[in-house]
């Protein structure tokens, strides 16, 4: 892996935040990230996909390993570009980092629900939601970025989800549906600190000012997301950042403005750390050989 770029300001912040664990954190971030995939169980059952894949590729030293937290989740090894495989081109699996799979699993939507995927592009979590709902119910997937929206539509069509998923290019802050959805996934735009293991220059444009800008947007988005839900519904908030301003600070803002309830989450074989002040959960790369992540599951009473 190429030498990662770490701004001095970032290093100072995270040495203070992580204390004695900073060295483990940064050393893990310097290593190559394992590749993982999510099976499109609307087209093929995971066990069938696994058996066919093993028969076809084991003699080429390409292997799958079941991840313990969901039957659709696998680690793939022996190939640098899994997207070159025919099975990917046919929409039988999607490329997705394993910690990024957790928010949709935590939301656990039922097939009868109306679900909002609030900042959806390029659609990895939308695909997950659709498979978790077994192709039933309805998903509204929103994103305002033109290029990312194209990717969202491409993926929805490629994975055969057009009947279940409606895509809308719009600013999520202008969403006017209140007390409407049964559940919502808000994987918020963030400073992308957790992507160091994917891109050596992920922190090239990082600054504390950027963190504060993202946090200001996230606070607006989470209020809009919460208000869009019916009473008794669920919201999962997540980012690929570990900055408290973008995570626990955003949830505290929601607590000040609304009256949410919180639900615990756990994943078989995957370690979560309690967030600051026990708000939500943090994923540290060294715990699971993953990227960094944050998530919080919220109920609207």
Nearest to 156 by CA among 148, 147, 143, 165: 165
Nearest to 235 by CA among 297, 171, 152: 297
Q: Which helix (H) or strand (E) holds 183?
A: strand 181-187
SS3 48: helix
Q: Could you tell me where in the chain the CATH 3.40.50.150 domains are found? A: 98-300
Nearest to 166 by CA among 177, 77, 254: 177
Q: Kindly state the DSSP code that residue 179 receives in the 8-state scheme.
A: S
Mean pLDDT by 10 residues, the chain (301 residues): 87 97 95 96 98 97 98 98 97 98 97 96 98 98 96 97 97 94 98 92 94 98 98 97 98 98 97 98 98 98 94
pTM of the predicted protein model: 0.97
Q: Are 124 and 152 in contact (CB under 8 A)?
A: no
Confidence at residue 169, expressed as pLDDT on a 0 to 100 scale: 97
Nearest to 48 by CA among 10, 8, 85, 92: 92
- Could you give the residue numbers annotated as active site? 240
Confidence at residue 1, expressed as pLDDT on a 0 to 100 scale: 63
The structure tokens listed for 219 are 């606070």
The superfamily in CATH containing domain 35-95 is Sun protein; domain 3 (3.30.70.1170)
Q: Are 101 and 266 in contact (CB under 8 A)?
A: no
289/292 Cα distance (integer angstroms): 9
Helices (H) and strands (E) in the chain, counts: 10, 13
Q: Which helix (H) or strand (E) holds 248?
A: helix 248-257
Q: Could you tell me where in the chain the CATH 3.30.70.1170 domains are found? A: 35-95
* Residue that is written with structure tokens 């600190």 in the block: 193
Q: Kindly state the DSSP code that residue 92 receives in the 8-state scheme.
A: S
Residue 173 makes CB contacts below 8 A (sequence gap 6+) with 220, 221, 224
The structure tokens listed for 20 are 């004695």
The superfamily in CATH containing domain 98-300 is Vaccinia Virus protein VP39 (3.40.50.150)
Q: Are 116 and 228 in contact (CB under 8 A)?
A: yes
Confidence at residue 3, expressed as pLDDT on a 0 to 100 scale: 84
């Amino acid at each position: 892996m190429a030498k990662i770029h770490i701004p001095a300001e970032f290093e100072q912040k995270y040495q203070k935040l992580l204390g004695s664990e900073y060295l483990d954190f940064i050393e893990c971030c310097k290593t190559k990230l394992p590749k993982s995939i999510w099976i499109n169980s609307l087209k093929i059952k995971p066990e069938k996909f696994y058996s066919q894949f093993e028969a076809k590729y084991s003699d080429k030293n390409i292997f799958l390993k079941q991840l313990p937290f969901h039957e659709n989740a696998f680690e793939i090894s022996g190939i640098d570009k899994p997207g070159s495989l025919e099975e990917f081109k046919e929409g039988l699996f999607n490329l997705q980092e394993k910690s990024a799979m957790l928010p949709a699993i935590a939301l656990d939507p039922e097939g009868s629900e109306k679900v909002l995927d609030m900042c959806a592009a390029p659609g990895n979590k939308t695909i997950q939601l659709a498979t978790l709902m077994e192709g039933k119910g309805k998903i509204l997937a929103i994103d305002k970025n033109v290029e990312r929206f194209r990717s969202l539509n491409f993926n929805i069509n490629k994975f055969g989800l057009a009947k279940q998923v409606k895509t809308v290019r719009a600013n999520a802050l202008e969403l006017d549906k209140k007390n409407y959805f049964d559940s919502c996934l808000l994987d918020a735009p963030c400073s992308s600190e957790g992507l160091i293991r994917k891109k050596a220059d992920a922190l090239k444009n990082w600054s504390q000012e950027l963190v504060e800008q993202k946090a200001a947007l996230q606070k607006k988005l989470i209020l809009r997301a919460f208000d869009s839900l019916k009473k008794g519904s669920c919201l999962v908030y997540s980012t690929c950042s570990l900055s408290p301003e973008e995570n626990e600070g955003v949830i505290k803002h929601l607590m000040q403005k609304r009256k949410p309830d919180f639900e615990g989450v756990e994943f078989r074989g995957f370690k979560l750390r309690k967030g600051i002040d026990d708000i939500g959960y943090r994923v540290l790369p060294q715990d699971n050989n993953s990227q960094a992540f944050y998530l919080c599951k919220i109920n609207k009473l």
